[in-house]
Amino acid sequence: RWGILSAGKISSDFTKAIAVTKGATAAAVAARSANAAAQFASQHSIPKSYGSYDDLLRDPDIDVVYVGSIADSHSKLATKSILAGKPTVVEKPMTISLKETQHLVSLAKKTNTFLMEGMWTRCFPAMRKIRDIIASGAIGDIITVQGDFGWNASASPYPTDRIWNPKSGGMTLDVGMYMAQLGQVAYPNATVDQVQSMGTMRHGVDHAVLSNIMYSKSRYS
């Protein structure tokens, strides 16, 4: 029984996925506005809606929480959810800084509470197959991983679209982590030794980014 924190587009997409997942149901939604939460609940046939995140987290009928708010609020809401003892899935990026992510991981370990970043690409059947192939040693030692991911940001209205949010917008936080995690797939538990990046800015956020990541044992992505 999922509790959905935030009534935005990403939460809507997630809730639609829950609706076709066996054994899962969206039991409640919360938003900063009671009206927004009620409209979202009506749209997705969710039985409960709250105009307060804290009220949802106090609901004993919620088994697990999904944080689908804008990225700069992930840390605050995930902290509340973990402290409420709710297993928590946070939409990517988990937070907007290393410090915030370390805080959540530490808190989850301390309270023995499940915490997961909603990195959808890691759950693709193809990605699971890739991990199996790498683990089997079938393709030998990997020394380089390459990838690219992008979309047309000109279709996102400025300044209202989330991609232009000065705190949590830009391509690195929106899609760059999909490429960064490929290195972790190829080199499980490897140490990052160096990161080199260059790019272009638009409206104060990173619009295009090229990054090279050097791992231990002279491996790259």
Residues 161 and 212 reside in one and the same domain: yes
Residues 106 and 127 reside in one and the same domain: no
Residue 129 identity: K
Q: Give the integer Cα–Cα distance in Å for 123 and 176.
A: 17
Residues 128 and 178 reside in one and the same domain: yes
Residues 103 and 158 reside in one and the same domain: no
**Burial category of 68 from C-beta neighbours within 10 Å (exposed 0-12, middle 13-18, buried 19 and up):** buried
Q: Read off the pLDDT of residues 136-186 as tens digits, 9 standing for 90 and up.
A: 999 999 999 999 998 888 889 999 999 999 999 999 999 999 999 999 999
Q: Which of 89, 118, 147 is the last residue of a domain?
A: 118
Q: Read off the pLDDT of residues 27-56 as tens digits, 9 standing for 90 and up.
A: 999 999 999 999 999 999 999 999 999 999
* Phi-psi category of residue 112: left, alpha or beta, with phi > 0 → left and psi -120 to 50 → alpha: left
Q: Read off the pLDDT of residues 64-115 as tens digits, 9 standing for 90 and up.
A: 999 999 999 999 999 999 999 999 999 999 999 999 999 999 999 999 999 9
Local structure of 139: helix, strand or coil? coil
Total domains in the chain come to: 2
Q: Give the integer Cα–Cα distance in Å for 72 and 93.
A: 9
**In which domain, by residue range, is 149 found?**
121-220
Residues 91 and 137 reside in one and the same domain: no
Residues 130 and 109 reside in one and the same domain: no
Q: Which of 118, 142, 166 is the last residue of a domain?
A: 118
Q: Which of 83, 102, 118 is the last residue of a domain?
A: 118
Residues 135 and 85 reside in one and the same domain: no
Residues 175 and 93 reside in one and the same domain: no
Q: What is the CATH number of the domain that holds 187?
A: 3.30.360.10
Judged against a pLDDT cut of 90, whether residue 189 lies above it is answered with: no
Residues 56 and 139 reside in one and the same domain: no
12: which residues sit within 8 A by CB, 6+ positions away?
40, 43, 44
Residues 102 and 158 reside in one and the same domain: no
**Burial category of 211 from C-beta neighbours within 10 Å (exposed 0-12, middle 13-18, buried 19 and up):** middle
Question: Are the C-beta atoms of residues 35 and 42 closer than 8 Å to each other?
Answer: no
Residues 42 and 68 reside in one and the same domain: yes
Residues 114 and 154 reside in one and the same domain: no
